[in-house]
Amino acid sequence: MFILSAIIISLIYNALKVDPKLPIYQPDMVNKELADTSVQYVRKFHKIGNFNLINQNGDSITPKDFENKIYVADFFFTTCMSICIPMTENMRVIQDKFIKDDEIKLLSHTVTPEIDDVKQLRKHADKMGLVDGKWHMVTGDKKHIYDLARKHYVASKTDGDGGPYDLVHTENFVLVDKEKRIRGFYDGTKDDEIEKLIKDIGILKLEYQE
């Protein structure tokens, strides 16, 4: 009788158990300081839009490079001596964790494109152990990059629109799903947040196995 009860309880538990799912973030769900005023009150259908950037090899990088991919995005600059150091080291941790998983990509945008040209990005990529094809460090038009930070990834408190004295400085890592939707924000300077991000990537991958 005891064994039969245990089996019944187990069957009921498995029937009721629901796999965890990550939220789909909309701009109105985040701190309004992180989003441009044009998107602060968007409540649905928000996605990362089109972009055209250049990576450490001089290759054009567009959303096509992330089709059917889950990716982590951040904003940095190569001459930063503060939060960018642990952020880049933690991006490498994520890279190494998913090095054999072609479903996962990384995308780091420089916020000082006037300094971080292709040659500088290549030098920095080599220094940080970047694996080509897995992790893209990208440069491009400054206003375009700042629009991405504020209007698409809603990840920076900077009010500027990419002017000569504007500087996006954010510790946020942004998890993006295959539909280009934001599924999580993480402090890229903290080890426990990186552990959570890695766990959440696993949860997100399960959604595509259903």
Residues 6+ apart with CB under 8 A from 50: 62, 63
Are 68 and 76 in contact by the 8 Å Cβ rule? The answer is no
Q: How many residues are there in the chain?
A: 210
DSSP at 75? E
Please give the helix or strand (H or E) that residue 196 lies within, else none: helix 191-207
Q: Is 80 annotated as a binding residue?
A: yes
Q: Is 136 annotated as a binding residue?
A: no
| Cα–Cα distance measured from residue 128 to residue 140, given in angstroms and rounded to the nearest whole number | 20
Q: Is 124 annotated as a binding residue?
A: no
Residues flagged as binding site for Cu cation: 80, 84, 169
Residues flagged as binding site: 80, 84, 169
